[in-house]
């Protein structure tokens, strides 16, 4: 089984798991980095940056907590071998608890490779195409997909409301329009 298939199997297992309802995450006691939330570009860059890093590097989880509104969610979608789509809905704390150890132990670098933005009033929807690598200098990504990110600006700063994603698969390749 190659690395792509192992990662796909792990992603599907994570997406298939049932997560018990947890307590809402607190806002970071140190507050957000003002630069992280000053613009839509900045908050998206901070989201990718905070989960990325080499093996053995602790992530700044307080920084991640500070990007999300209270009650913000991360939702992974995957496809079972039966063809049924399943989702795994997580609070920020659930994500930190379940994905944090893998990211810190194995290393992970995710970057945005294309973006589409739709806005209406206070609703901002970003289709952010990504690729992921275990090491920053890996010649090819082991995973690609789309992050559907909902944002809001409360007049003072930007907030992430939801990150909903699906990885590319052999039977569901990324279309050209999401790679531009």
Q: Mean pLDDT across the stretch 1-10?
A: 42
First-to-last alpha carbon distance for the chain, in angstroms, is 31
Q: For position 32, what pLDDT does the model report?
A: 59
Distance between CA atoms of residues 31 and 131, nearest Å: 29
DSSP-derived letter for residue 33 is: -
> What is the band of 122 on the pLDDT scale with cuts at 50, 70, 90?
confident
> What is the band of 95 on the pLDDT scale with cuts at 50, 70, 90?
very high
Q: Mean pLDDT across the stretch 48-76?
A: 97
pTM of the predicted structure, to 2 decimals: 0.82
- 3-18+34-178 CATH pick, 2.40.70.10, 1.20.1290.10, 3.10.450.50, 3.40.630.10: 3.10.450.50
Phi-psi region of 155 (alpha: psi -120 to 50; beta: other; left: phi over 0): left
Q: How far, in whole angstroms, is CA 44 from its chain's centroid?
A: 10
CB count in 10 Å sphere of residue 57 = 12
134-179 pLDDT per residue, tens: 999 999 999 999 999 999 999 999 999 999 999 999 999 999 999 9
Q: 43 near 160, Cβ under 8 Å?
A: yes
């Amino acid at each position: 089984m190659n690395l792509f298939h192992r990662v796909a199997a792990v992603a599907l297992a994570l997406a298939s798991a049932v997560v018990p309802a947890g307590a809402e995450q607190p806002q970071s006691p140190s507050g957000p980095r003002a630069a992280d939330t000053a613009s839509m570009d900045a908050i998206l860059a901070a989201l990718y940056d905070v989960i990325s890093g080499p093996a053995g590097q602790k992530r700044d989880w307080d920084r991640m907590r500070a990007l999300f509104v209270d009650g913000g969610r991360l939702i992974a979608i995957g496809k079972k071998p039966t063809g049924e789509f399943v989702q795994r809905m997580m609070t920020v704390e659930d994500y930190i608890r379940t994905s944090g150890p893998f990211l810190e132990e194995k290393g992970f670098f995710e970057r945005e490779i294309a973006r589409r933005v739709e806005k209406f009033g206070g609703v901002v929807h970003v289709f952010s195409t990504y690729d992921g690598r275990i090491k920053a200098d890996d010649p090819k990504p082991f995973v690609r997909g789309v992050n559907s990110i909902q944002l809001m600006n409360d007049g003072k700063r930007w907030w992430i409301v939801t990150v909903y994603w699906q990885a590319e698969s052999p039977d569901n390749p990324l279309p050209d329009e999401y790679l531009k």
